[in-house]
Amino acid sequence: MRLKIGNRCYAHAATSKKIKSATLASRSAVVALLLLSVAFGPAQADDRQLQRGNYLVNGVVACGNCHTPKGPNGHPIQDLELSGGVVIEEPGFRAVAPNITPDSETGIGRWTDEQIVNAIRNGKRPDGTTIGPPMPVGFYRNMSDTDVLAIVAYLRSVKPISHQVEKSTFKIPLPDSYGPTLPHIADVSPDDKLSYGKYLAEIGHCMGCHTPMTKGQLDTTRLGAGGRELPAFPAGVVTSANLTPANPGGIATWTDAQVKDAITGGVRPDGRQLVLLMPFDWYKHITPSDLDALVGFLRTLKPAQP
Ligand code: HEC
Ligand code: HEC
């Protein structure tokens, strides 16, 4: 049982430990132990949680697109995973993504699970200060308990890196709160393809880049209409695509396979390579069924102009 994503490999540690310590026992005892650990073992549950967290962070959620330093080619430096320092400049702010590795001095190693969940879903640090943009808190507010805890488990599993990061500066006011704390958020069933696709697009904050702004707020009446000028890497700006059917050459005229190639590989049907801002290095790990759900959701966008 292995899951390999982004150079990480999780062997079924608990099970292999059991096999080693059971070498003196009879073969049938080993089989019984294995069956037991597969069916009931708490290690199995933890493993599944870690795998889910690994899948989300290295896939559609792509925390590393902001929190992991990138090399000169614009691709993430895996050895520096989630250690922060990435500067994101927009007219209203100069944001510096913090170190979110488990380093206890410079990262979030001393934060409790609850405090990390509160940072992700409510945009609040343990000292009560508000986390500013472009951390997409608004899109994380409805992340299910299962998924946010899986992400916390994954964050705790990455290599702690000592990296003191400078503070962000904001010219725009930050909200006191992003809304009330929701005590419990249920899972969205993957069997409900459309709702699940919408959920994935939300925790992947696709619409955070692909929706126009009016007076500093995302204009949700024009969801997916694009037209946003975003800072490209290493310099310049790139305009986010209009994903709605109002775009004459847009995805409404592409096959599902073509849309998936754009999301996971950054290539358009006309062969043009999309600018590396959308996190293709992470999206390439999205499973085929999750891609189906995402594309299904994109197909529901209403025509709108940027
Ligand atoms: C679009 C960029 C972006 C994405 C994606 C993003 N973050 Fe952030 N995050 C930031 C920035 C920038 C800050 C700091 C904002 C500030 O200084 O107020 C931040 C702050 C944080 C903090 C507070 C840390 C501290 O020491 O203050 C945590 C925790 C965090 N992010 C976790 C995550 C996790 C987990 C994910 C994925 C689920 C994620 N972020 C996705 C940009 C991002
Ligand atoms: C960090 C910002 C950002 C995020 C997050 C993002 N995108 Fe994009 N996306 C862009 C930009 C910018 C372009 C246009 C790039 C170019 O033209 O070279 C683009 C292009 C696309 C295209 C190609 C469309 C066309 O007509 O060329 C598709 C499809 C797409 N995005 C879907 C998605 C989906 C689905 C998600 C979420 C899973 C997502 N994007 C998340 C910024 C983003």
Kindly give the confidence (pLDDT) of every residue in the chain, 306 residues in length, as a single tens digit, with 9 standing for 90 and above: 333 333 333 333 333 333 333 333 444 444 444 444 444 445 666 899 999 999 999 999 999 999 999 998 889 999 999 999 999 988 899 999 999 999 999 999 999 999 999 999 999 999 999 999 999 999 999 999 999 999 999 999 999 999 999 999 999 999 999 999 988 999 999 999 999 999 999 999 999 999 999 988 899 999 999 999 998 877 789 999 999 999 999 999 999 999 999 999 999 999 999 999 999 999 999 999 999 999 999 999 999 999
| pLDDT of res. 188 | 98
Phi-psi label, residue 138: left if phi above 0, alpha if psi -120 to 50, beta otherwise: alpha
Q: How far is the CA of 218 from the centre of ligand 1 (A)?
A: 19
Atom of ligand 2 nearest to the CA of 238: 12
| Cα 68 from Cα 62, distance rounded (Å) | 10
Tokens in use for 207?
A: 């619409």
Tokens in use for 213?
A: 């702004």
| pLDDT of res. 183 | 87
Among the listed residues 138, 140, 165, the one whose alpha carbon sits nearest the alpha carbon of residue 151: 140
Among the listed residues 112, 116, 115, the one whose alpha carbon sits nearest the alpha carbon of residue 82: 116
| Cα 68 from Cα 229, distance rounded (Å) | 22
CA angle, 178 as apex, 94 and 152 as ends, to 5°?
80
Pocket residues: Cβ below 6 A from ligand 2: 60, 201, 204-206, 208-210, 230, 238, 240-241, 243, 250-251, 259, 262-263, 268, 274-275, 277-278, 294, 298
| pLDDT of res. 283 | 98
The strand pairing partners of 237, in sequence order, are 231
Please list the residue range(s) of the chain that carry CATH number 1.10.760.10.
189-306
Q: Dihedral (C-alpha) 176, 181, 186, 188: value to the nearest 10 degrees?
A: -10
Query: Under a CB-based contact definition with an 8 Å cutoff, are residues 208 and 139 in contact?
Result: yes
Query: Under a CB-based contact definition with an 8 Å cutoff, are residues 291 and 201 in contact?
Result: no
Atom of ligand 2 nearest to the CA of 228: 12
| pLDDT of res. 27 | 45
CATH architecture assignment, domain 189-306 = Orthogonal Bundle (1.10)
Q: How far is the CA of 166 from the centre of ligand 1 (A)?
A: 14
Of the listed ligands, the closest to the CA of 163 is 1
